[in-house]
Amino acid sequence: MRGLEQIPWLYDGLMAAADRLGLRRWRRRLVAGVSGRVLEVGCGTGRNLPLYAVPERVIGMDPDLAALRRARRRAPSVPLVVARAEALPFADGVFDTVVSGLVFCSVQDPPRALTEVRRVLGAEGELRMLEHVRHARPGVARWQDRVQPAWTCVSGGCHPNRDTEAAVERAGFCIDPDERVARGVMRRFAARVCAAQADASDRNDGDSG
């Protein structure tokens, strides 16, 4: 499906305006203080990449080659990979941080993608997300449901009515309440695999070893 997200010059023009109107602050907070080896899932045209303190420790990935060409110009030192979040071409546990900004509204299969994120994160790994989500008020959420088919078409994949935080929790992550910011439909949060789940998978690893 081709829409705004697949037309990099147009996407960047619209995002430049959104960044000036306040989105850049959300982006800065999203990447502030990230540590270790970082994977940015769905980096698109790379608008977050210059904001990392140590871009050399970041790998950017996105399924859209044209978007990645722009990302390359924006952040020449960041290695870029063409891939989908549902099938990450990385070994288990190789990243300390996975960052995702405005992406899980667009991935085709969020549960599968989150399973992949979990797989590539190390035991203490952190997932950082910036998303717009389903509104808490049922009336607004119903309106989001109504506009979703047309918006998904125009945007090239975005679903304005997804409850991404619930999907993250269903995937076995616990959201850190101290690292969660909610304003309207915007969310920024950090999450780690819940302790009970991490213990269970450690036990399974021990049993199979």
Ligand X SMILES: C[S@@+](CC[C@H](N)C(=O)[O-])C[C@H]1O[C@@H](n2cnc3c(N)ncnc32)[C@H](O)[C@@H]1O
Binding residues for ligand X (CB under 6 A): 5, 15, 41-44, 47-48, 62-64, 67, 84-86, 101-103, 106-108, 157
Three-state secondary structure call for residue 99: strand
- DSSP label at residue 56: G
Shortest CB 131 distance to ligand X, Å: 10
DSSP per position, 122-172? EEEEEEEEEEE---SSHHHHHHHHHHHHHHHHHHTS--TT--HHHHHHHTT
Shortest CB 52 distance to ligand X, Å: 13
Shortest CB 127 distance to ligand X, Å: 14
The nearer residue to ligand X, 30 or 191, going by C-beta atoms, is: 30
Residue spans of alpha helices (H) in the chain? 8-18, 24-31, 65-74, 110-120, 138-155, 164-170, 195-208
The nearer residue to ligand X, 106 or 161, going by C-beta atoms, is: 106
The nearer residue to ligand X, 38 or 103, going by C-beta atoms, is: 103
CB atoms within 10 A of CB 17: 9
Shortest CB 183 distance to ligand X, Å: 17
The nearer residue to ligand X, 62 or 165, going by C-beta atoms, is: 62
Residue with the CB atom nearest ligand X in the bound state: 44
